[in-house]
Structures are given as C-alpha cells and as structure tokens.
Amino acid sequence: MEIVVSILIGLLFATAVYLMLARNFLRFLFGLILLSNAANLVIFAAGRMTEGAPALIPYGALTPDGEIANALPQALVLTAIVIGFGLFAFALVLAFQAYRSLGTLDSDEMRVAEPREEIAGEARE
C-alpha cells in the first residue's frame, strides 16, 4: 500500500501546487488544504503502514502484543493536523477580511503595500 499512497501523495502535491499558483485567493486556500493533507500522508507513510493493528497495549500486558502500527508518526500527524487547521482558519479569515476591505480576491490586485503606480513612478525617476 505504501506504493499507492506515495503516488497519491504525488497527485495531491501536484494539484495543490496548481491551485496555489492561481490568482484567486480562495483557490490558493484550496491548495493549502490539499497540501496539508499530502504532508500528513507523507509523515504517516514514512513510518510504514500496518493494517488493522492500532498502537495499543492490551490489558495485562507490559508491551504490545505482536506487530502494531507505528505510533510515532501518528502522534506527529495528530499535531500536524491541528496546526494545519489553525493555519487554514487564520488564512481563511485573512482572505475574507482582505476581500471585504480590498473588494477583490485576485492576489495580483492586492497591492496596498506595493502599488503599481509607485513602482512605475520609481522606475521613471
């Protein structure tokens, strides 16, 4: 299954990059979501995948019984999911606020800090 997941990760990266390069900021956010999913899968698959055996220690035992799923990447992915969500939520509010104050979602048009006129003016000087 690692081979299939590797290819899925590649596909998620490809679509994420494609979306993030779009002018529309909402598409950028879509790309961001796909990218964090891809990143989570990278961590998960790098720790190898074991089917149907959660990382649990049975009652009465001191150590796990037989081969179980790798717990370390799972812990990392849990953290990553939550942080990815925090990032996404903030970016969404930022986009929303940017749209309300600038009236556009086109990142090419968001030029309050570097207005086109000013750049053109500097070039003339």
Find the binding residues for other proteins in span 37-66 (CB under 8 A): 37-38, 40-42, 44-59, 61-64
Q: Which of residues 68-97 bind other proteins (CB under 8 A)?
A: 68-72, 74-75, 77-79, 81-90, 92-97
How many residues contact other proteins, by CB under 8 A? 97
From residue 39, alpha-carbon distances to 9, 11, 31 in Å are 8, 12, 12
Question: Counting contacts by CB under 8 A, is residue 102 touching other proteins?
Answer: no
Q: Which of residues 8-37 bind other proteins (CB under 8 A)?
A: 8-24, 26-30, 33-34, 37
Give me the least distance between CB of 68 and other proteins, in Å please: 7
Query: Please, what's the b/e burial string for 72-105 (b: 16 or more CB within 10 A of its CB; e: otherwise)?
Result: ebeeebeebeeebeeeeeeeeeebeebeeeeeeb
Nearest to 51 by CA among 40, 75, 67, 64: 67
Give me the least distance between CB of 13 and other proteins, in Å please: 5
- d(Cα 51, Cα 89) in Å, to the nearest integer? 32
- d(Cα 12, Cα 6) in Å, to the nearest integer? 10
Give me the least distance between CB of 8 and other proteins, in Å please: 5
Give me the least distance between CB of 31 and other proteins, in Å please: 8
